[in-house]
């Protein structure tokens, strides 16, 4: 029987005692109540008679240990001595007594007394066949959250209504990602889950304690799980815990005997690694929007009923996100006729390493980032071993390129090749991605910046048969015409002088 808990659930150690000290109503009923946003769960109350109760000739009450509990002993007290112990016990002692009573009932299969339970609003009435002093267990629920919690109480029939004031205490669960939770596709990030050994393990004969971590668009790194309990490293084995990954759902199941042997409240830390998957970032060509969707949801499942296999759940209200980033650039030849002129077919490579320009243009792409082409001009960082991945990025007819799945840091955009009429960039374009926190980031200090990459047209050499030859012929003609004019002029001068 599993109870799904929206916020907080726990086994309740109700530290309230109702021993009859004076005159009581002549009834075999037990009455309990709750306050606030709490109600009794139907069909969950059970009463176990610890003492028979009888009215003496003087109007007082006498208590005799019930047959089912004659063999019960707690802290060396049994029989009539147990009544005195209960009367003087403080909260800590009562908590231990509850644990021993629950264990005794479970181990000896003690049957609950027949009771007719009636719930009216926030009041529970148990009509019993016999008067007595009872150990009552049941469940209550927070109406706002739906959280379920067992309660335990010691109470006499005929006494005034006893208030059940549960303290919803559960094993806490927290999840953190190392650093600031960002990176490139394919990069591994460390995760830390922190919880603790439940405080009420002493009331259980067996205990369910499971941590389940669901990864979305993250790929679990096999063999990366490490566990400490109470500060001590714990090796995985059949007697400690198992860690199983199935479809990027990591389930760490602790052995019951191992849990019951721990110190209540001991800190439990689970560490593991996962890589950012390509699905963590997507681009919608219709809307032009980029979406990042990578997160972890962790939940702890634990026993919450010492008499049954019931379990409760607790999880952080907000999943643990992981971030990855992007930028776009526009390749153009400057403004022509009042508009930017896009350049198609320019190839680039991206790297975090400076000084690679000569090597890259020489055909050595080592140290550059691999991409897969999602659509014309849309590239996504590729995981290691991805078939068809390439370092070269080519501009489409629009000249616009979008690069997805990058972590923060300084990048160098190297131009590899361009159409013949354009000169290659003398230096790579530097692009700085800075994570501001919670997925917000800037590119070169600006939110949503498009990097403009302009190429200039090359200086052109004369073409054979083109204008260069014409210039040569015109110049030659002019020289020849000039020479002829000089000869004619000289001839004319010679004629005159004769």
pLDDT digits (tens, 9 = 90+) for 63-85: 899 999 999 999 999 988 898 88
The CATH architecture of the domain made up of 174-321 is Sandwich (2.60)
Dist. CA 212–CA 270, nearest whole Å: 11
The reply to whether CATH 3.40.50.2000 applies to domain 325-454 is: no
What does the pLDDT average to over 224-230?
A: 98
CB atoms within 10 A of CB 475: 10
Specify the pLDDT at position 460: 47
Tokens of 48: 């176990």
Dist. CA 87–CA 85, nearest whole Å: 5
Domain boundaries, given as residue ranges, for the chain: 17-163, 174-321, 325-454, 465-498
Residue 494: what are its φ and ψ, rounded to 5°? -65, -40
What does the pLDDT average to over 25-53?
A: 88
Specify the pLDDT at position 21: 36
Rounded percentage of the chain residues whose pLDDT exceeds 70: 83
Asked which of 39-43, 128-132, 462-466 is least confident by mean pLDDT, the reply is: 462-466
Does the pLDDT of residue 144 top 80, yes or no?
no
The CA-atom distances, in angstroms, between 39 and each of 1, 122, 403 are 19, 5, 55
Does the pLDDT of residue 229 top 80, yes or no?
yes
Question: What does pLDDT average to over the chain?
Answer: 84
259-286: buried (b, 16+ CB within 10 Å) or exposed (e) per residue? bbebeeeeebbbebbbbbbbebbbbeee
What does the pLDDT average to over 301-312?
A: 82
Per the CB < 8 A criterion, the answer to whether 136 and 46 are in contact is: yes
Q: Are 174-321 and 325-454 in the same CATH fold? A: yes
pLDDT digits (tens, 9 = 90+) for 159-200: 888 887 665 567 889 999 988 899 999 999 999 999 999 887
pTM of the model: 0.72
Specify the pLDDT at position 492: 34
What does the pLDDT average to over 407-430?
A: 94
pLDDT digits (tens, 9 = 90+) for 469-498: 333 444 444 444 444 444 433 333 333 333
The CA-atom distances, in angstroms, between 27 and each of 60, 85, 258, 288 are 15, 25, 46, 75
287-311: buried (b, 16+ CB within 10 Å) or exposed (e) per residue? eeebebebbbbbbbbbbbbbbeebb
Tokens of 196: 């603790």
Higher pLDDT pick, 448 / 373: 373
């Amino acid at each position: 029987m599993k109870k799904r808990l929206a916020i907080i659930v726990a086994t309740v150690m109700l530290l309230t005692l109702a021993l009859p000290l004076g005159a009581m109503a002549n009834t075999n009923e037990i009455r309990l109540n709750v306050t606030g946003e709490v109600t009794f769960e139907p069909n969950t109350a059970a009463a176990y008679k610890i003492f028979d109760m009888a009215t003496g000739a003087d109007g007082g009450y006498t208590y005799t240990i019930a047959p089912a509990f004659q063999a019960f002993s707690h802290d060396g007290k049994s029989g009539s001595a147990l009544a005195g112990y209960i009367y003087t016990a403080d909260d800590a002692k009562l908590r231990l007594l509850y644990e021993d009573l629950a264990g005794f009932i479970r181990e000896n299969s003690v049957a609950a007394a027949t009771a007719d339970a009636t719930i009216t609003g926030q009041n529970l009435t148990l009509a019993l066949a016999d008067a007595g002093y009872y150990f009552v267990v049941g469940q209550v629920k927070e109406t706002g959250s739906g959280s379920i919690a067992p309660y335990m109480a010691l109470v006499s029939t005929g006494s005034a209504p006893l208030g059940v004031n549960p303290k919803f205490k559960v094993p806490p669960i927290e999840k953190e990602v190392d650093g600031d939770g960002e990176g490139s596709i394919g990069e591994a990030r460390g995760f830390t889950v922190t919880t603790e050994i439940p405080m009420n393990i002493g009331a259980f004969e067996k205990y369910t304690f499971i941590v389940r971590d669901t990864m979305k668009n993250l790929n679990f790194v096999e063999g990366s799980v490490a566990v400490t309990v109470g500060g001590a490293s714990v090796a995985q084995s059949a007697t400690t815990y198992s860690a199983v990954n199935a479809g990027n759902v990591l389930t760490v199941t602790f052995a019951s005997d191992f849990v019951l042997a721990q110190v209540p409240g001991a800190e439990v830390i689970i560490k593991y690694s996962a890589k950012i998957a390509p699905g963590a970032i997507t681009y919608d060509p219709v809307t032009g929007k980029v979406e990042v969707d990578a997160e972890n949801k962790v939940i702890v499942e634990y026993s919450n009923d010492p008499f049954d296999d019931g379990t409760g759940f607790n999880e952080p209200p907000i999943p643990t996100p992981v971030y990855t980033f992007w930028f776009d650039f526009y390749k153009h030849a400057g403004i022509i006729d009042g508009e930017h002129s896009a350049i198609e077919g320019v190839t680039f490579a991206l790297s975090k390493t400076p000084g690679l320009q000569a090597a890259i243009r020489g055909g050595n792409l080592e140290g550059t980032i691999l991409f897969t082409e999602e659509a014309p001009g849309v590239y996504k960082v590729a995981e290691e071993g991805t078939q068809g991945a390439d370092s070269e990025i080519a501009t489409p007819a629009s000249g616009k390129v979008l690069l997805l799945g990058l972590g923060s840091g300084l990048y160098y955009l190297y131009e590899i090749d361009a159409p013949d009429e354009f000169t290659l960039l003398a230096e790579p374009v530097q692009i700085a991605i800075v994570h501001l926190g919670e997925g917000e980031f800037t590119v070169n200090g600006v939110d949503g910046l498009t990097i403009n990459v302009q190429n200039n047209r090359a200086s052109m050499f004369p073409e054979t048969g083109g204008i260069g030859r014409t210039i040569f012929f015109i110049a030659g003609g002019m020289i020849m015409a000039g020479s002829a004019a000089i000869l004619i002029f000289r001839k004319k001068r010679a004629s005159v002088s004769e």
